[in-house]
Amino acid sequence: MTAPIEIDPNLVNQFELGYNNMQKLMQYKLPESEATFKSAFELYAKTLRGDISFEKGLNKLFLLRHDALMSVNQFLFDEDQEKLHDMKDDDVEGWAIYKQHAEEYRIHDFFFTRLIGIVNAQCSN
């Protein structure tokens, strides 16, 4: 078993923990994305505060990000969906559903990428 990742606290302090500041950095467009943002931010904050291990937080965000990406792909390439939504320019409902899936992915990717940034910064020191 490998040793847990020990992150330098000074490095963590360089990364923003303020909810409002994070919202400014990751501006989602859809009102229904608020719940996704809140839960991803909470997981990110718990990871940086040390409430959960860095590995566990990184892994959870990775899995949420992966699930969101698979949701986008499933929506785009599902045969049943293609019968309901042709995804042409005038398919307002289809594009709205796609945007929901894509934004969920963007939010999880945003926080996952920030955690990866900490690991990269520490490894380069």
Per residue in 40-55, pLDDT (tens digit) is 999 998 988 889 988 9
Whether pTM > 0.75 for this model: the answer is yes
- Specify the higher pLDDT residue, 111 or 122: 111
Across the range 30-44, mean pLDDT stands at: 92
DSSP state for residue 85 in the 8-state scheme: -
Q: Which class for 68: exposed (0-12), middle (13-18), buried (19 or more C-beta within 10 A)?
A: buried
Give the pair of three-digit tokens for residue 42.
Answer: 């909470």
Give dist(CA 115, CA 47) in Å, integer.
Answer: 9
